[in-house]
Structure 1
Amino acid sequence: MTCSIDDGAAIDCEEGPDLGRVAYADLSMGRHRLTVRMGKTGAMSEASATWEIAAPDVVVVGATPGGISSALAAARAGRTVVVIESNSKIGGMMTGGLAKSDTGGGGAGEKALGGITREFFDRTRDREIAKGACSNEYPCPIYWDFEPHVAAEVFADMLAEQPRVFVQSGVSSFTVVRDGAQLKRLVTARGDVSAKVFIDASYEGDLMAQAGVSYTMIREPRLSGSDGVDPAGIEDDAGYGGLVTPPYGRSVDPFLEAGKPESGLLPFVEPPPAPEKAVGSADDKLMAYNYRLCVTDDPDNRIPFARPADYDPALYEGSARVAQAAAAQGKPLDELYFNPARTVRSTNPRYFKGDLNGGSAFSTDMTSPVWNQAYADASSAGRSAIEAAYRGYIEGLLYFWQTDPRFGALNAKVARYGLCRDEFVDNGHWPYRLYVRESRRMLGEYVMNENDVLRNGRRAPIDDGIAMGAYSADSHIRRITWATISVGGAPARPTVVTEGFRIIRLPGFEPYPIAYRSLLPRRSEVENLLNVGTLSATSMAYSSLRMEPTFMMIGQAAGTAASMAAQANSAVHDVDVKGLQARLVADGQIVK
């Protein structure tokens, strides 16, 4: 059996016992003709059909958890949705290794999570119980944890239940056509797609940037106004934080040859900032990126960490020096390094799977001017090169930790683990997604800042809340450099330091409302775009907002608002917020 579309080249159809199928991976609107030829040579019969692809009501860029929630909410409200995803897989970080969900400490997540987000977690837990990964005999640690492939199955099921949602993955680039303050259509290699309302749910803010919406990538200054200015814009913890954090409180020489500045700096150690740089001043440093690895010590499900083809142990000299300094002070290295957080049971329920995240300097987290700092503005090829660099670096680091004798007992600990055989099976068991913790951030109708997150009274209470943030402000390191300082009372000497890490807990672990206005571009710029993944927030506020369950809740609000705007043919700025809040509450969302 062969098929052709619009008189194109004949292709093999997918055959089943009673039917045949052909995949149509195109977005071009209009009428299309499919011709199917069946039978044996000399006895072929032909059938044809014509169908029409109409413009959807809503286009979502990014099949991330936030994007999927957006699509589900709009579809459940009766709208037709097209989702465009650059990756070959859907689900973003939740299907890409981040299985230890960041829901918020002290019960904050329990207070905040509802609607589609809660439904997702209920379904993942039910599936984990059904497959035996969690049971009375083998309980799992946390309700909100899961396996990446189970998250992928649940997202696929939820989307399959909505015939109004059409997902196009592997769409690596697009351009935006607009008319005044209206986005009209996206131009892709698979055709053009137009809509009434667009939603940017990407981690990089690509739609926002292409649409000409104002955004920033700076770390805002601590003091945003002069004396006498209303303090609403002041963030006590914003801006450059100074260089005061040696890794694990140890002094580590930063030079290739210890004590010799002329030999150059260790890999990934940047030159110090200018001496006149003031604490609290602005800069362009973003949080470190990494891959969130799914690992296990289950011998039946473990793929050992292997030596990468381009392995260069010199890249990891900084990590070895930190280890030596810690060991000299009696710190057990197998406690200091490599501590994957347990998620659910492995195929052998006596063992767990774990989510391996980054830590201090020279961990799986890494920051570099040519890596995470350059990622957002890189081309598709440039981003792929940065992703490959991160993968090679982390693969090499894991091999280094299990083979370099300076790590002592850590060698055996890391060697007991490996990648999970049943995860990412078509990608060498490596996660599909680089963890882009921070990228562009929109400058919209309302910029959420630290005062909104902490609810400290400096700003008026948010009355247009559409979801609740529940996680602490959690900023990973932004720079590895060096400074001449005293560590542990020893004489001052050049030592490696990190800058940017800070955690600020929510007062009383109470969630805070997220303003609908923070999803809106400035009205003068675009009237039919909502932003989920790179919403309008300062870097400090974003370090709390950036969690995947939070993105899902924001996504549900965006999808619901997009449905209301599409139905009324209005700007997203004109959506009745009280009506939006009422719909969200009726659908299980928690808004205050």
Structure 2
Amino acid sequence: MIDSNSHYDLVVIGGTPGGIACAVRAAREGLRVLLVNHTQHLGGFITSGAGGWETPCDYLRSPLYAEMITGAAEYYRDTYGENSPQHRAALPNPDNRFHIERPKVEPRVAEMLFEQMVAREKTLTVLKGYYVASAERDGAKLTAVSLKELHPESGAGVPPASSSEAGETPAPPHTLRITARTFADGTYEGDLAAAAGVPCQIGREPRSRYNEPHAGVIYSTERPHTPDQSRFPQDAVAGRLNIRSFPHATGPLRHPDSTGEGDSAVMAYNYRLILTKNPANRIPIQKPKNYDPDAHKKASNGSYVPSLPNVIADRPNVVPNIPNEKIGWNGGRLIGPHNAYPTADWPERERISRHYLDTMLSLLWFYQNDPAARECDRDYWKDYGLAADEFIDNQNLPYEIYVREARRLIGRYVFTEHDALPVPAFARIHAGARTPIHPDSVATTDWPIDSVACIERSSGPGAHPDGIFFLAEESRPAQVPYRTLLPQGLDNLLVPVALSASHVGWGPIRLEPVWMQTGEAAGLAAVLAQKHDTTPTALDPDQLLRGLVERHTMISFFNDVDPASTEPWIPAVQYLGTKGFFATYDAYPHEPLTSATADCWAKAFTALLTCDTSDDASLVASAAAHSLPANEPTKPSAAAAAIVASTLGEFASKLRTALSNKNLDTEPLEAAKRALGLRCEEPLPRSAACQLIYETLGAIKTRKRT
């Protein structure tokens, strides 16, 4: 029973995938958790029409994300059979490396899996149909939140079709006051962060703020297809980057129209309708009560800009091959009304959302029925209807609008465009260079730096509308610092969804797989903070990183390291990927450690022994990566004869010297060396060298704490 003044170890506001991951991880580790959601349906966009997981990376990047992917695949296998169309759709397509061949899941199945996930945790309480109305602070501590019932008249947590329209007086909303040791904001809108009074940003920063080329008002052009390239990035197509490729990318900006001026505009919203042609599961599209015959003039069909070359302009933007003969329609983007949404109250947000939904239904009805519709549109859409088995308590319509961007925290680190681009200093030395290395990384991005339109204006033919960019060629997988989850001036609030990023930096962040990682990291941070009687902001990030990698979370992307693998060296390589031991995305774990790299790693090990602050750790990581031998090993097996390998004995001697010079006990090193089970005269694999460093550092840090 939830009463006013109930107390929890952790209160999570927002039943998004990131919020759920935060709550479940904390509960699974023993905390008493309350998860609050404003509707009756958990899962956010994933259960409101996403149709799958938007990621070009196939890795099972974190434990709870892995549970969702494998849970869906097992459900379809058990229900429809091994290798059935449904089962195959739920898995990444191994034969086609195009990004749209990522794992798919029906919204109803995703919701079922989320419900099962939370139900398994006996210390997790879920409160549906409530939103945060206000928050109480005592200096740098958040002490309580007031929760208000969203739709007391319907009891459904969704906008009623009914009572107010029928002239009935709505029932007064029920309110609750809840206290907790730690709070987390898992909403897309950053509502708890705003209620707590921490700094947030809405809209686009000017170019001058963070020196981002794509900040502010911009008009991008399309990167043309050539005989040599029709998918992006080229490194993925060529097999040098282990992610899926995209069919288009934007190129140079149009000047002088791209002024870089800041404003309050955010990415356009829309609904993602789940449609089917299957007569046995199809609800025909009815003419909306608020039908707008001009909807086709106001809302994008999700198509690319017709005037741009080498792009199929009339191809509707859909998520194909959702299990059971469904698609997700990603059209109907109205540019403009969404900009009032981030700071609006819930009644106004629902009015805005309904406007978008009516526009989308009007657009679909127009395509199917209006003589003015183009023949190609009518032919494509004529047989589609709403899926009868989806959103069955909401007229087969998604529960939530697709909020691409709302408030963004201004935290203790701001993730910007630069964080998702290769470091220029690394790129001058290393082919396939990494993005910036963050010693407190808790998650990874893999989606390109991107934005859909923000304002309805154009600079003329040949350029996208204001705000659109899709840097599929330049972007690379990036590390997300723990500091982006931490607000300024408040010590016990974590913000794993509306986290700290610029508008341009937001593009790679804003995907559910990333948020499931940051959410799970936030949940573990709350656990460790309570265990060590501290706050999330005072928590040693190293403890959090070790907890994440030992649970098989990907905090460093590698082409050749699957974070879900049970190989004993996986945590070590993941961890050292945040410390500057790798300047590229290739770990070459099974290749011999060369003498040159051994020298560099020993120096980095020495620096880490006395590294106490985040700033120090960042400098150490950057310096370590910059000092690595250029492009070694590029083709290690082929060049093995020319490589001077380091043995276990030689490398351990370098580390022993480092410990002795710092007056530190060498026993942790000797214990780690014995655990490897290798002979001292044997060439040392890079993976084993990482294990040696990881275990030694861990033991030394544990001794320091005790």
TM-score tier after normalising by the smaller chain length: 0.7 to 0.9
The question of 1:207 aligning with 2:192 is answered: yes
Give 2:79's match in structure 1, choosing from 121, 124, 131: 131
8 Å CA contact 1:95–1:152 kept in 2: the answer is yes
Q: Does structure 1 residue 308 correspond to structure 2 residue 288?
A: yes
Contact 1:86 1:171 in 2 (8 A): yes
Question: Which one of 462, 466, 480 corresponds to residue 438 of structure 2?
Answer: 462
2:88 aligned residue (132, 135, 140): 140
> Which one of the candidate residues 43, 46, 52 is aligned to 1:94?
46
Residues 278 and 453 from structure 1, CA distance in 2 versus in 1: closer, same or farther, beyond 3 angstroms?
Answer: closer
How do residues 157-176 of structure 1 correspond to structure 2 at under 5 angstroms? 157-176=116-135
Q: Find the aligned partners of 1:575 and 1:92 in 2 and give their Cα distance.
A: 29
Higher RCO (C-alpha under 8 Å, 6+ residues apart): 1
Q: How many angstroms does 1:315 deviate by?
A: 3.6
Residue 122 (str. 1) matches residue 102 (str. 2): no
Q: Secondary structure at the residue paired with 2:456? A: strand
Shift of 1:305: 1.6
After superposition, what is the alpha-carbon deviation per residue over 1:48-98, rounded to whole angstroms, capped at 9, x for unaligned? xxxxxx511000000110000001110111111001111221111111111
What TM-score do you get using the length of structure 2 for normalisation? Answer: 0.63
Tell me which residue corresponds to 1:35. Answer: none
Hey, what does 1:416 align to over in structure 2?
383
Report the CA distance between 1:587 and its aligned residue.
1.6
Deviations 1:392-425 (A, max 9, x none): 1111011111123341132132121111000000
Greater share of helix residues, 1 or 2?
A: 2
Pair 1:212–1:319, CA change in 2 (3 A): closer
SS at 2:88 equivalent? coil
Q: Is the CA contact 2:36–2:131 (under 8 Å) kept in the aligned structure 1?
A: no
Q: Does the Cα contact within 8 Å between 2:52 and 2:104 map onto a contact in 1?
A: yes
* Aligned mates of 1:184, 1:319 — CA distance in 2: 44
Pick aligned residue for 2:214 from 219, 225, 237: 237
2:23 corresponds, among 71, 78, 84, to: 71
Partner of 1:445: 412
The question of whether the paired residues in 1 share the 8 Å contact of 2:524 and 2:544 is answered with yes
* 2:487 alignment partner, one of 514, 521, 544: 521
Tell me which amino acid in the other structure corresponds to 1:367. I
Unaligned stretches of 5+ residues in structure 2 = 92-102, 148-173, 223-254, 426-434, 557-706
SS of residue in 2 equivalent to 1:57: strand
- Tell me, what secondary structure is at the counterpart of 2:351? helix
Letter in 2 for 1:378: A
Secondary structure in structure 1 of the residue aligned to 2:137 = strand
Q: Which residue number in structure 2 is paired with residue 290 of structure 1?
A: 270
| Paired-residue identity, % | 31
**1:109-508 to 2 correspondences below 5 Å:** 109-111=57-59, 113-132=61-80, 135-136=83-84, 140-141=88-89, 143=91, 144-188=103-147, 189-224=174-209, 233-242=210-219, 279-317=259-297, 336-346=314-324, 352-358=325-331, 364-368=332-336, 371-405=337-371, 406-457=373-424, 461-483=437-459, 485=460, 487=461, 498-505=465-472, 507=474
Answer whether contact 2:132 2:191 (CA < 8 A) is retained.
Answer: no
Displacement, 1:461?
2.2
Secondary structure at 2:197 match in 1: coil
Pick closer, same or farther for the CA change 1:379–1:276 going to 2, 3 Å.
farther
Distance (Å, rounded) in 2 between the aligned partners of 1:204 and 1:284: 15
Distance 1:127 1:472 in 2: 31
SS in 2 for 1:572: coil
Q: AA paired with 1:110?
A: D
Contact persistence 2:444–2:479 (CA under 8 A): yes
Distance 1:214 1:55 in 2: 26
The separation in 2 between residues aligned to 1:77 and 1:321, in whole angstroms, is 45
Quote how far apart the aligned CAs of 1:511 are. Answer: 2.2
Letter in 2 for 1:113: R
| Structure 2 SS opposite 1:118 | helix
Aligned residues, how many?
475
Distance in 1 between residues matched to 2:527 and 2:50, nearest whole Å:
30
Once the two structures are superposed, what CA deviation does each residue of 1:345-376 show, in whole Å capped at 9, x if it has no partner?
32xxxxx2111113xxxxx11121xx210001
Partner AA of 1:415 in structure 2: K
For 2:326 and 2:301, the matched residues in 1 are separated by 30
What amino acid does structure 2 have at the position aligned with 1:237? H
2:549 is aligned with 1:585: yes
Residues 472, 277 of structure 1: CA spacing in aligned structure 2 closer, same or farther, 3 A cutoff?
Answer: closer
Structure number with higher strand proportion: 1
Instruction: Return the alpha-carbon distance in structure 1 between the equivalents of residues 284 and 315 of structure 2.
Output: 18
Per-residue deviation, 1:114: 2.5
Secondary structure of 2:274's aligned partner: strand
Residues 439 and 318 from structure 1, CA distance in 2 versus in 1: closer, same or farther, beyond 3 angstroms?
A: closer
Q: Could you tell me whether the CA contact under 8 Å between 1:295 and 1:340 is conserved in 2?
A: no
Question: 1:218 offset after TM fit, Å?
Answer: 2.6
For 1:99 and 1:322, locate their aligned partners in 2 and report how far apart those are by CA, in whole Å.
Answer: 16
AA aligned opposite 2:35: V
- Which amino acid in the other structure matches residue 241 of structure 1? I
